[in-house]
Structure 1
Amino acid sequence: MVAVSARARVLFVGGLGRSGSTLLELILAQHPDVCAVGEVVHLWERALGGDERCGCGERFTGCDFWQRVGEHAFGGWSALDRDEVLALKAQVDRTRFVPRLARGRLPEEQLAPVRRYADLYTRIYRAAAEVTGASLVVDSSKHASLAFALRWAEDLDLRVVHLVRDSRAVAYSWAKQVRRPEVVDTEAYMPTFSPFTVSGLWTAQNAAFHLLASRAPVLRLRYEDFTADPRGTVRRVRVFAGLDDTPDALRVLDDPPVPPRPFHSIAGNPLRFSSGPLRVRQDNAWQAALPPQSRAVVSAATWPLRLRYGYVGRRRPDPREAP
């Protein structure tokens, strides 16, 4: 692989899917000092393996941005052994490995594969910044295990946004059948999960990011607060990420709204293919559509963290509250 240098600054958006990460990433990507790359954790299977469509509309192999990134990072994507990368991913990037990755120290036999894995992402982030001239790369992979692996990278300035949404809304969203427009040669859909399964995933992922906050810079945001005040939220995220608070970064939120420019994203919500004006609004359909039994299951199973996040009763979390 080609030699690379310089420290990459990355904003990792973490949490459970269906919490608004694609929307946040899309807004951040509207300013040239940000390069948003979608869910890089899926690059190995979906882009290199399935040649799926990038957020720009082109297949991965036909996207000039991603081909240039591969050249800068590795001397071309063909220089990578995908099976080897997937084997390394299975060895490092699993939720069950989070307790190990959260330790203050790792023995060399465990640290070496973690750093090899994290270096793959570091090279991609650095290459994306070089290709675009951006100061910040946004990765919305969400998986806590990847965020924990990245904290061991030697040349990465890692900052994490922990994005939280009411577990009942998340459960309702994961029950819906959503087509994946990035798949070209066949018709494919995102997986669906039962309310009980979503409850476990929601609790595990969010609890993991609480643990990560003791190891890396973490900013927690609620989806409901983001959609209620997108301008204030974007400003807060940009400052946290070390970017200037410039009005130009919010033009996509103007009224009348300015159509968003496409960004080169791997995987994510179908929203990334939208070409129309971006209107940020809170989706509360779950309040009427989530069946009572499902609501009861999710409410009971996720009660402790829902209480902490202000979803129980009238308590709202203090934005100054430590993660």
Structure 2
Amino acid sequence: MSDHEHAPRVIYLGGLGRSGTTLLERLLGELPGVIALGEVVHLWERGVLAEELCGCGAPFPACPFWGRVGERAFGGWSVRLAERVLALRRRVDRTRRIPRIAHPDLADYVRAYRLLYAATGADVVVDSSKHASLACCLVSSGVDVRIVQVVRDPRAVAHSWSRTVARPEDGRPMTRWGPARTALHWSTQNAALELLARRGARVTTVRYEDLLAAPAPTLAALGRELGLREAVAELPFLDGRTAWLGPSHTVSGNPMRFHVGRVELRRDDSWATGMAQGDRRVVNLLTWPLRVRYGYWGTA
């Protein structure tokens, strides 16, 4: 397959995990002509090598959708392919390289994503890989990408990262971070996305809190901004703060990627009562410039 054959538009969801990217991705994936792929950056390790579950519930090697994509893009999935892309990622796709992303292997690395996106056959794909460094690689290589920066109150994010959550794939606990580490990552990722916007990348910011307060208006406004005006003209899967989600083929991400059926769109503000004052002070201190920029004024 040619790199540019049926090149779809790419909606890239950026930000730090636990900020609502999976929810937004699932909602966008319900729009006609849009396919949500999950965190494609992890496909090579978790899908091809570890054979973890697709969002449809099937193991990655047994999923018909991903089988077709792999065959069209690469002549089939292989350990050799996955290991090559992962080796390229380690050399190219690094946050520290964002100020000067140029690298001899950049074109080869991005080509794997170009081929994969095109092989879906979709008009629009959603990649919720989140990493600002991958977004930078795609933008720098001329991929038709629109970045959606998803932000959430950093105190809520830090509280979420501190909790124990089991991975549906194997029951093992997901990674946990302390408040200081989460705050630094929150600031780093969002600052990097701000830098991409200043360089001319097409970046739209969406707050998790706004999406949960008014799902349909927020999604419709975002769709129009992304050039999906016809797709968001009607949103039959949304009724107030209730959404109905169909099966998805997301390759990696939050456990919500497996949910099918009705879901109530409610904010999780458990941090307000469950977060220690000392932890709040740490997060407030380490995130205050961007926290204020995004409208999270309070210091309580």
TM-score (norm 1): 0.87
Segments of 4+ moved more than 6 angstroms: none
Are 1:158 and 2:142 matched, yes or no? no
Root-mean-square deviation (Å)? 1.8
Paired position in structure 2 for 1:207: 191
Are 1:267 and 2:252 matched, yes or no? yes
Q: Deviations over 1:132-174 (max 9, x none)?
A: xx321000000000000111224x2110000110100000000
Residue 222 of structure 1: how far off its partner (Å): 0.9
Matches within 5 A, 1:146-295: 146-154=134-142, 156-183=143-170, 187-213=171-197, 214-246=199-231, 250-254=235-239, 257=242, 259-295=244-280
Tell me which amino acid in the other structure corresponds to 2:236: R
Paired position in structure 2 for 1:321: none
Counterpart-to-counterpart distance in 2, 1:160 and 1:212: 9
Residues 11 and 258 of structure 1: is their aligned pair in 2 closer, same or farther, counting only changes over 3 Å? closer
Give the secondary-structure state (helix, strand or coil) at the position aligned to 2:237: helix
Are 1:126 and 2:118 matched, yes or no? yes
Note the residue ranges of structure 1 that are not aligned, 5 or more in a row.
Answer: 315-323
Counterpart-to-counterpart distance in 2, 1:86 and 1:310: 37
Residue 178 of structure 1: how far off its partner (Å): 0.9
Residues 230 and 280 of structure 1: is their aligned pair in 2 closer, same or farther, counting only changes over 3 Å? same
Tell me which amino acid in the other structure corresponds to 1:203: S
Give the secondary-structure state (helix, strand or coil) at the position aligned to 1:3: coil
Paired position in structure 2 for 1:46: 46
Bigger mean CA deviation after superposition, 196-205 or 237-246: 237-246
Q: Deviations over 1:267-291 (max 9, x none)?
A: 1111111223022121111111111
Counterpart-to-counterpart distance in 1, 2:178 and 2:240: 39
Residue 248 of structure 1: how far off its partner (Å): 6.7
Tell me which amino acid in the other structure corresponds to 2:156: A
Residue 249 of structure 1: how far off its partner (Å): 5.0
Residue 58 of structure 1: how far off its partner (Å): 0.3
Counterpart-to-counterpart distance in 2, 1:55 and 1:44: 15
Q: Deviations over 1:246-299 (max 9, x none)?
A: 467522212695631011001111111122302212111111111111111101
Paired position in structure 2 for 1:12: 12
Counterpart-to-counterpart distance in 2, 1:20 and 1:60: 24
Q: Deviations over 1:210-255 (max 9, x none)?
A: 0011231000111111111111111122122221344675222126
Q: Deviations over 1:25-55 (max 9, x none)?
A: 1111112311000000001110011100000
Give the secondary-structure state (helix, strand or coil) at the position aligned to 2:49: coil
Give the secondary-structure state (helix, strand or coil) at the position aligned to 2:220: helix
Give the secondary-structure state (helix, strand or coil) at the position aligned to 2:263: coil
TM-score (norm 2): 0.94
Residue 307 of structure 1: how far off its partner (Å): 1.1
Contact 1:30 1:249 in 2 (8 A): no
Residue 93 of structure 1: how far off its partner (Å): 0.8
Matches within 5 A, 1:29-178: 29-78=29-78, 80-101=80-101, 106=102, 110=103, 112-128=104-120, 130=121, 134-154=122-142, 156-178=143-165
Residues 180 and 87 of structure 1: is their aligned pair in 2 closer, same or farther, counting only changes over 3 Å? same
Give the secondary-structure state (helix, strand or coil) at the position aligned to 1:242: coil
Residues 150 and 277 of structure 1: is their aligned pair in 2 closer, same or farther, counting only changes over 3 Å? same
Bigger mean CA deviation after superposition, 230-239 or 172-181: 230-239
Identity %: 46
Note the residue ranges of structure 2 that are not aligned, 5 or more in a row.
Answer: none
Paired position in structure 1 for 2:285: 300
Residues 190 and 258 of structure 1: is their aligned pair in 2 closer, same or farther, counting only changes over 3 Å? closer
